Structure 1
Amino acid sequence: MSESRRLLGQRGEKLAESYLVNKGLRIVDRNVRTKRGEIDLIALDGTCMVFVEVRTRSSQMFGTAAESITWKKKQKLRELAIEYLHQASQPVPSFRFDVIAIFTGTSRGDEDLMKPVIEHYESAF
């Protein structure tokens, strides 16, 4: 992965985190990595645990950020979430999968050409 793509992804995750906190969710974990993959953000919305996939794009030439989440990626996130829940110290009454899709209009890590557009898909899959 190129440095500019990595920075774009990091910036998107920070934007997504701020957005969720402003909506009243509490972030409980970030970039949870296992041998099989990574969960970008884990938050609590009341008692509901929210597994968040963040996708950031600087161009829509190849489709939107939300459209880039394949069936295979959704399945992997489901598996990672089950693994995470099995390791939880307390029972989780409910959970869901959200997608935060961000379009920045630029791939530069410094000044943006436009204000980022954030789309939040609750219970996306």
Structure 2
Amino acid sequence: MSDTTAQPGHDPRRILGRYGEQLAARYLTERGLLVLDRNWRCAHGEIDLVARDGDCLVFCEVKTRTTERFGGAVEAVDRRKAARLRRLVAAWLQCHDERAGRVRIDVIGILRPHHGPAQLRHLVGVGS
């Protein structure tokens, strides 16, 4: 009998997600942001990236897709997801000694088609 479950570390969705998060972190860094945290988890869920943009803390949700057949990556962050992100931001702030003049939630959507280069879309301040 063969085992059809993916081996740990070989799950295609996790590999795609890690790829997207790495691309997003590089994108933010190239634009002058300092990445402070990655894949922070608590009881409410996970924050993909936390970065500093001057006096602003940026909490970034990264969505990576190989196709837009079921909608684009950034459209996956609806009202309910934005509310969960706000709870995660509050939890992160309670656990860390980072001070900021402002806080914002961004979404980075990445389309990585099977052929051609990845496309990145950055939405700033979506969780307000």
Fold match (TM-score > 0.5)? yes
- Please state whether the residue corresponding to 1:24 is helix, strand or coil: coil
| Residue number among 108, 116, 120 corresponding to 1:100 in the alignment | 108
1:44-87 residue CA offsets vs partner (Å, 9 max, x unmatched): 00110000000001011001001111211111110010111122
Q: CA separation in 1, counterparts of 2:44 and 2:95?
A: 15
TM-score, structure 2 as length reference: 0.88
2-side partners of 1:92 and 1:47: how far apart?
5
Identify if the C-alpha distance between structure 1 residues 8 and 91 changes in structure 2 by more than 3 Å, giving closer, same or farther: same
Q: Which of 31, 44, 49 is the matching residue for 1:36? A: 44
Partner of 2:122: 120
Contact 1:85 1:92 in 2 (8 A): no
Amino acid at match of 1:56: T
* Count of aligned residue pairs for this structure pair: 119
Give the structure-1-normalised TM-score: 0.90
Superposed CA RMSD in Å reads 1.4
Q: Among all aligned residue pairs of Structure 1 and Structure 2, give the percentage whose two residues are the same amino acid.
A: 39
Instruction: Give the AA of the match of 1:20.
Output: L
Deviation at 1:98, TM superposition (A): 0.5
1 or 2 for the larger relative contact order (CA 8 Å, sep ≥6)? 1
Secondary structure in 1 aligned to 2:69?
coil
* Distance (whole Å) between structure 2 residues aligned to residue 91 and residue 69 of structure 1: 26
Q: Which whole-Å CA distance do the structure 1 matches of 2:96 and 2:18 have between them?
A: 26
Given that residues 49 and 96 in structure 1 are in contact (C-alpha distance below 8 angstroms), is that contact kept between their aligned partners in structure 2?
Answer: yes
User: Segments of 4+ in structure 1 off by > 3 A?
Assistant: none
User: Is the CA contact (8 Å cut-off) linking 1:65 and 1:103 kept in structure 2?
Assistant: yes
| Unmatched segments (≥5 aa) in structure 2 | none
Structure 1 alignment gaps of length 5 or more: 107-112
